[in-house]
Structure 1
């Protein structure tokens, strides 16, 4: 467990948040391209793709630093529902509709890593997780040669119960140490069958950003940041495991009444 603290940013509204999220993501991109000429990102679902699209599809100032180089992006899913890719519950479909289908041609097309629908059809969620882990191995090196994949950036949401990815409070998956991708067959939130990156994979990322907005999040964020009893929640475990590598992008209603120090700019 690390001892450094996450960064908590708060902005007046979602529009301002998106404007601040853009330079953060692009700094992560540019650092990754300088390191290994590819940008490996994992994305969750919920409201995140909408905010991400606002951030990345905004007009560039024309500088290389402010330009998404999507042709060098490898986009994975931090979690995914075991449904067909055209199903309304699919995180892939959400990201496609909000962002991928709207990327201008001149910015290039990212490489997308969706789930294998074959194992959705046959109902084998563990096989779905195993095949996704094999995809990660091809991108990050074999599991025998690296203990964990190290994403350049993981973009997450936080549920009203404190869950993130498909890691739910009190669930045994929070104790998983070996698998990179785990199967969930009894999710407390429908649909019940899902796959998810495991906690060690999330906390190993070089950069982790949560996006949490709206007054409906203030009670759970107060528990995560201010209350001892909230420290066992999945989102809080990411804070504890990754410390200053974690940045929270919130609007003012989401952090109303929270004592943890927050900033208004990056």
Structure 2
């Protein structure tokens, strides 16, 4: 097999559900299965989570006794350069919706360093070092290989803090980059880059609601448009999943996959 063939991505798997509640139930099952496979294989589960509406979609994990919270290592795909208890903080959103309600050890959650908010370069370097600490001693890969990365998508097709037309779309070296000109407030952020996202074993987008109905076909059916969310293509053997509701996917041509674990 040629190197190019080896790295060609698997086609995305599109799961569409009748309601957000049904989506949340099956998303929790999916996360638990990914967790079990990772723990069985190597004794830990590395996951990166975005903010926005995503934390609330993870509510199905709260009552689930199969979740081994002590084995989780949680990172944030992107984060706003604000204090950890600020309403704009992804860490704050995830803590409020999920982590405050489950027995996850505090040291297993990796927020940004709030003492570095005034220096974005230092802030992103510091977060990259957190990743190096978790991954470099175990893996020899050029980029960290997360067991699961969970992403959201904005109505403009952005994901993480990677926005249409932004210079960070071309970043192929750094693990964590910063921006001070986010078109969506707050302007100062740090974010995983595409190489980190695309090296994950599994990447799952969660996109629900009628406000996504026009952008979803642009991402799934017209990747040539180059929207940030369409640039998420995990390298083989990684797999991309979409968890959407029927309100968001009504105009999509890509074949839906009957959900199965």
Q: Give the TM-score normalised by structure 1.
A: 0.90
Query: Is 1:6 aligned with 2:4?
Result: no
Query: 1:229 offset after TM fit, Å?
Result: 4.6
Matching of residues 58-97 of structure 1 within 5 Å: 58-60=63-65, 67-97=66-96
Alpha carbons 1:137, 1:143 under 8 Å: kept: no
Does the 8 A contact of 2:213 with 2:247 survive in 1?
yes
* Structure 2 unaligned blocks of 5 or more: 1-6
Q: Could you say if the C-alpha distance between residues 75 and 228 of structure 1 is closer, same or farther in structure 2, counting changes exceeding 3 Å? A: closer
Q: 2:251 aligns with which of 224, 248, 257?
A: 257
Q: 1:177 aligns with which of 160, 172, 181?
A: 172
Please identify which structure carries the higher helix content.
Answer: 1
Equivalent in the alignment of 2:3: none
Q: TM-score, normalised by structure 2?
A: 0.92
Quote the offset at 1:239 in angstroms: 3.5
Structure 2: distance between partners of 1:215 and 1:174 = 26
Q: Structure 1: how far apart are the matches of 2:100 and 2:215? A: 33
Q: Which residue of 1 aligns with 2:207?
A: 212
Give yes or no for contact 2:28–2:60 (8 Å, CA) kept in 1.
yes
Report runs of 4+ in structure 1 exceeding 6 Å deviation. none
Mapping for residues 32-181 of structure 1, pairs under 5 Å: 32-52=38-58, 54-60=59-65, 67-103=66-102, 105=103, 108-109=104-105, 111-120=108-117, 123-141=118-136, 145-181=140-176
Residue 240 of structure 2 corresponds to: 246
Aligned CA distance change for structure 1 residues 221 and 93 (closer, same or farther; 3 Å)? same
Unaligned 5+ runs, structure 1: 61-66
